[in-house]
Amino acid sequence: MARGFSKAVTYQQKQTDSLPSMNILNASFLEHFANLNDPRIERSKEHLLKDIIAIAILAIISGADGWVAIEAYGNSKYEWLKSFLELPNGIPSHDTFSRVFARIEPQQFQECFLSWVNAIVGELELNVIAIDGKTLKQSYDRNNQQKALHIVTAWSSSHQLVLGQKKVHKKSNELTAIPELIEMLEIAGSVITIDAMGCQKDITSLIVKKKGDYIVALKGNQPLLYKAVKEWFELAKKSDYLGREYNYHKQVEAGHHRVEKRQVWTVDVSELPPLYNQALWTGLKTVVMIVSERRLWNKTTTEARFYLSSLSSNAEKIAGAIRSHWGIENSLHWILDVTFSEDKSRIRKDHSPENFALLRRLAINLLKQEKTSKQSLKMKRYRATMDNNYLVQILNSAS
């Protein structure tokens, strides 16, 4: 009785699931990874590269957080996977997954990812693209003198999509990774937001060259410029901006036992005395001051922040773009750590940390695009583990 029931389910599953799954896998992302070079020598290829990549992606969507978990997922879903993957020698071992992803060239893997993302984005207006860095805290290897991996990511807040990532090299910092990431992206017509690390003349020049706009945080790493802008706003505020042209926007938010008021002033640079090296800041049109006042039950804090922008002076528009920048922290970095346990991951070997980080971001893109369910990403992953049809739906959402 049990065997007959098992066969019936297997047959029905193959009839209803296999063809849609195969079509979606081919259409969604496998075709974009088809040209990925296999790093293995010919005689050691017991498993197809496309099978390895497909199982890894499906497993990570479904909650796997390492190579052993990916192998376990493959073994538990073998009959279903066999219905659309070739699997000539069964499910690869966790050592095989580890070795292959340690040797896959990250730049080429990134290009495949970008090809897939561009296919999703299509004609969408990306509006604001936030660029920010994140360190994978447990990816260091003290024995091999390997520092923790730091990755700069581009994020579309409006579409909840990771657009690309770039590793910060060992003897460098975000100043080299950010331009490399911008070069990879299609940013025409979009507004790029970056924290103070990206407040560099070469970076703003590159953004304008690629027909984008920018809003960059201005802090002490540009001391003369920062001092001039800060002092101008302080003097203007004391005189209540009398005789000065500016644009103003205020926003008040309340919740979680706190009230936050944000006031935004934007001023055309022509209103200020000539700034230090102003001509070298390509496209610079506006300076911005945001004063945030946060009231808790027992204290009130106030903070002033300054920005440079190539946008025209429009306080409401610029405030919205700056506000959306923090979506990369709340909607991506927080999820990577809490839902995907990225900070706890001890994957360290060769290219593995960078490639696994890209797999996580690919999974987030797929999960975020599935909008029929209002559940959290954690519950979506849990449901995908149990329900193959829902996993197919997740894949189909980005096809």
The 10 Å CB-count burial string (b at 16+, else e) for 46-80 is ebbbbbbbbbbbbbbbbbbbbbebbbebbeebeeb
User: How many Å apart are CA 144 and CA 384, to the nearest integer?
Assistant: 37
Query: Confidence band (pLDDT; 50, 70, 90) for 146?
Result: low
Supply the pLDDT for residue 29.
60
The per-residue pLDDT for range 330-357, each reduced to its tens digit, is: 889 999 999 999 988 888 888 999 999 9
Is it the case that residue 320 has pLDDT exceeding 90?
A: yes
Is it the case that residue 329 has pLDDT exceeding 60?
A: yes
The per-residue pLDDT for range 233-254, each reduced to its tens digit, is: 999 999 988 889 999 999 998 8
Is it the case that residue 128 has pLDDT exceeding 80?
A: yes
Contact yes or no for 321/191 (Cβ under 8 A): yes
Supply the pLDDT for residue 81.
93
Q: Provide, rounded to the nearest whole percent, the portion of the chain with pLDDT above 70.
A: 88
Contact yes or no for 373/394 (Cβ under 8 A): no
Supply the pLDDT for residue 19.
46
Contact yes or no for 76/91 (Cβ under 8 A): no
**Backbone torsion region of residue 45, taken as left when φ is above 0, otherwise alpha when ψ lies between -120 and 50, otherwise beta:** beta
Instruction: Please give the mean pLDDT across all residues of the chain.
Output: 87
| Higher pLDDT, residue 172 or 4 | 172
Supply the pLDDT for residue 273.
93
Is it the case that residue 28 has pLDDT exceeding 70?
A: no
Query: Confidence band (pLDDT; 50, 70, 90) for 397?
Result: confident
User: How many Å apart are CA 32 and CA 227, to the nearest integer?
Assistant: 48
Is it the case that residue 97 has pLDDT exceeding 90?
A: yes
Contact yes or no for 102/351 (Cβ under 8 A): yes
Is it the case that residue 5 has pLDDT exceeding 50?
A: no
Average pLDDT over residues 355-382: 93
H-helix or E-strand containing 352?
helix 352-369
Is it the case that residue 32 has pLDDT exceeding 90?
A: no
Q: Which residues lie below 8 Å from residue 234, measured CB to CB, with a gap of 6+?
A: none
Is it the case that residue 124 has pLDDT exceeding 70?
A: no
Helices 49-61, 94-103: crossing angle, 10 deg rounding? 110
Is it the case that residue 14 has pLDDT exceeding 50?
A: no
Nearest to 188 by CA among 267, 260, 108, 126: 126
Greatest mean pLDDT range, 72-76, 159-163, 165-169, 393-397: 72-76
Supply the pLDDT for residue 127.
85
DSSP SS3 for 206: helix
Query: Confidence band (pLDDT; 50, 70, 90) for 140?
Result: low
Read off the tokens for 329: 């922290």
Q: Which residue reads 């773009």 in tokens?
A: 321
Query: Confidence band (pLDDT; 50, 70, 90) for 399?
Result: low
Is it the case that residue 222 has pLDDT exceeding 60?
A: yes
Average pLDDT over residues 179-197: 93
Q: Which residue reads 């590269």 in tokens?
A: 49
Number of C-beta neighbours around residue 116 at 10 A: 20
